[in-house]
Amino acid sequence: MTALPMVVRDPALPSEVMIWEVGARDGLQNESAIVPTATKVEFIERLVDAGLAVVEATSYVRPEWVPQLADAADVMAALQRRPAVRYPVLVPNMRGLERALEASVTDVAVFASATEAFAQRNLNRGYDEQWEMFAPVVDRARSEGLAVRGYLSMCFGDPWEGVVDPVAVVAGVGRLLDMGCHAISLGDTIGVATPGQVADLLARLTAAGVPVEAVGVHFHDTYGQALANTLAALRAGVTTVDTSAGGLGGCPYAKSATGNLATEDLVYMLEGLGIRTGVDLDALVTTSAWMSGILGRPSPSRVVRARSHQGE
């Protein structure tokens, strides 16, 4: 018996995709039950063992904002970091960056909002003020030789503002790149985008001179569109996709939002398309099944359920 899925190449798609694994940060930060530090470290190390080369590790936010990530320094200290693997961390401000530098990180990320409403709620800043907050952080990080990624949230829809104007998103991406970010992650934070909207935004970004190699996509599966949206992005030339193992995560400001696109669901599709990821799907499924046992509920990932016989 030949293992599934059947591989059929599509020449319109890239031959390789870099998966930006966010389960340990974006996934766990939305879990109310505190996961022990040693479990987080084991989770990250198992994700690396499964072949993921970029594993976002934690976020240096203030502990009172996100209690789940109050142990950021302990996680980074305990982690056995491997030379070929990147372990990005989020830094909301200069204090966060200082803490990240103490942990000798090589990759950081700042997180901005494409909308006024979400900037106010997530950052406690106005849309225009947020750039003033990030600019010195990005400057300092770059002067320390770090790679800086810029997350842009609510690129497609916003729970308070509805549909988000793609012109505003292109402007936000431009601000982050001008500031010195080497890469951008376009967030569909509440999971409402559809493939035509994704293709339109990517075409606008390309027309504005944004190199597609600098663009990653970050989809949530609230409306079941995450894989379709990812395929639309791959067709537009995107080769970096954010996912979380087992589909962990959500959005604290949008109660109905489900988790990120599950890494396993993406890997299964990419394997079928003959696109290299370097990931061992079985090892990943085993890791997510283990984590769902710790969290006490089945994984929302269809592939994890199918491959680990959860929910039978």
Nearest to 134 by CA among 104, 90, 167: 90
Question: For Mg ion, which is the closer residue by CB, 258 or 308?
Answer: 258
Q: What is the DSSP letter of 262?
A: B
Q: Counting contacts by CB under 5 A, is residue 260 touching Mg ion?
A: yes
* CB 260, min distance to Mg ion, A: 4
* CB 118, min distance to Mg ion, A: 13
Choose the binding region for Mg ion from 24-32, 173-181, 206-214, 274-282 (rule: CB under 5 A).
Answer: 24-32
Instruction: Assign 19 to helix, strand or coil.
Output: strand
What is the rounded distance in angstroms from the CA atom of residue 281 to the CA atom of residue 51? 9
247 torsion bin: left (phi>0), alpha (psi -120 to 50), beta (else): left
* CB 98, min distance to Mg ion, A: 25
What is the rounded distance in angstroms from the CA atom of residue 103 to the CA atom of residue 93? 16
Q: Counting contacts by CB under 5 A, is residue 26 touching Mg ion?
A: yes
Tokens 């890997």 locate to 267
Report how many residues bind Mg ion under the rule CB under 5 A: 2
* CB 173, min distance to Mg ion, A: 17
Look up 155 and say whether it is catalytic: no
Q: Counting contacts by CB under 5 A, is residue 71 touching Mg ion?
A: no
Among 48, 236, 241, 251, the one annotated catalytic: 251
Instruction: Assign 89 to helix, strand or coil.
Output: strand
H/E element, 241: strand 240-243
Query: For residues 283-312, which are near Mg ion according to CB under 5 A?
Result: none
Q: Counting contacts by CB under 5 A, is residue 243 touching Mg ion?
A: no
Longest dimension (CA), the chain: 59
Question: For Mg ion, which is the closer residue by CB, 261 or 273?
Answer: 261
Q: Counting contacts by CB under 5 A, is residue 21 touching Mg ion?
A: no
Report, as residue numbers or ranges, the catalytic residues: 251
Contacts with Mg ion by CB under 5 A lie at 26, 260
